[in-house]
């Protein structure tokens, strides 16, 4: 099965309470465009991430709000921000790196920063067809002039997921990949 590729830039997921602290009470995030997973969207709003000595401006917010805030950055951003964010599966918010998220109305500081572990989204049926299950760690291969095999790909299975393989821009650049490229499961 050929799996579509989704390339993600650094972004922030906000909790409702942190959204209110940053943008004010009753603020509603504005849709910029839908993204690969059903119900999720890139927002018009951006924030600044500030580490110990550096900052990154215009970091896109991804909606809708979540239970907890997390800032998904790239490994190279650790050097810019002077932090040491761990590689984690999105949603695993234990032991994240402290970072400040800033917008002109307010700011929040807490253990929010992580580097997203590359992962595969699929439905239960698709997982069964591939012989994998939620929580598995697999290998996916991509072709091309800089083709390679991605190891340590976390499997995320849920019936309302759309099939895709998520990597960040650094990983895509290393392999010479672009949106629309495909990967295949290594068995």
Tell me if residue 2 falls in helix, strand or coil: strand
HSE-CB of 169 using CA atoms within 13 angstroms = 9
Calculate mean pLDDT across residues 62-76.
97
HSE-CB of 20 using CA atoms within 13 angstroms = 6
Which residue has 């002039």 as its token pair? 145
CATH number for the domain spanning 181: value is 2.40.40
Tell me, yes or no, whether 139 and 178 share the same domain: yes
- 177 pLDDT higher than 90: yes
Tell me, yes or no, whether 124 and 178 share the same domain: yes
Domain extent for 52? 9-116
The model's pTM: 0.93
Calculate mean pLDDT across residues 29-38.
96
How many other CB atoms sit within 10 Å of the CB of residue 77?
23
- 66 pLDDT higher than 90: yes
Domain assignment of residue 1, yes or no = no
Domain assignment of residue 148, yes or no = yes
pLDDT of residue 105: 85
pLDDT of residue 179: 86
pLDDT of residue 187: 78
Quickly list H helices, the chain.
16-23, 75-81, 124-130, 169-175
Domain assignment of residue 164, yes or no = yes
Tell me, yes or no, whether 65 and 108 share the same domain: yes
Calculate mean pLDDT across residues 35-62.
96
pLDDT of residue 144: 79
Calculate mean pLDDT across residues 163-175.
95
Domain assignment of residue 3, yes or no = no
DSSP 54-96: -EEEEEEEEES-BSS-EEEE-HHHHHHHT--PPEE-TT--TTP
Tens digit of pLDDT for each residue in 97-146? Answer: 999 999 988 999 999 999 999 999 999 999 999 999 999 999 999 987 89
- 1 pLDDT higher than 90: no
pLDDT of residue 141: 97
pLDDT of residue 180: 84
Tell me, yes or no, whether 96 and 22 share the same domain: yes
Work out how many domains the chain is built from and give that number: 2
Tell me, yes or no, whether 111 and 123 share the same domain: no
């Amino acid at each position: 099965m050929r799996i579509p590729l989704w390339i993600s830039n650094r972004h922030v997921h906000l909790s409702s309470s942190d959204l209110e602290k940053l943008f004010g009470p009753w603020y509603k995030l504005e849709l910029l465009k839908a993204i690969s997973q059903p119900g999720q969207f890139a927002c018009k709003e951006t924030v600044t991430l500030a580490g110990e000595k550096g900052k990154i401006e215009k970091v896109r917010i991804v909606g809708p709000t979540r239970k907890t805030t997390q800032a998904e950055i790239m490994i190279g951003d650790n050097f810019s921000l002077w932090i040491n964010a761990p590689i984690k599966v999105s949603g695993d918010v234990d032991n994240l790196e402290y970072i400040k998220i800033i917008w002109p109305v307010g700011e929040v500081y807490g253990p929010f920063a992580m580097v997203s572990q590359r992962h595969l989204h699929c439905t239960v049926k698709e997982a069964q067809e591939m012989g994998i299950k939620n929580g598995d760690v697999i290998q996916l291969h991509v072709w091309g002039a800089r083709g390679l095999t991605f190891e340590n790909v976390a499997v995320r299975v849920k019936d309302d997921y759309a099939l895709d393989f998520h990597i960040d821009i650094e990983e895509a650049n290393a392999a010479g990949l672009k949106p629309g490229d495909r990967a295949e499961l290594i068995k």
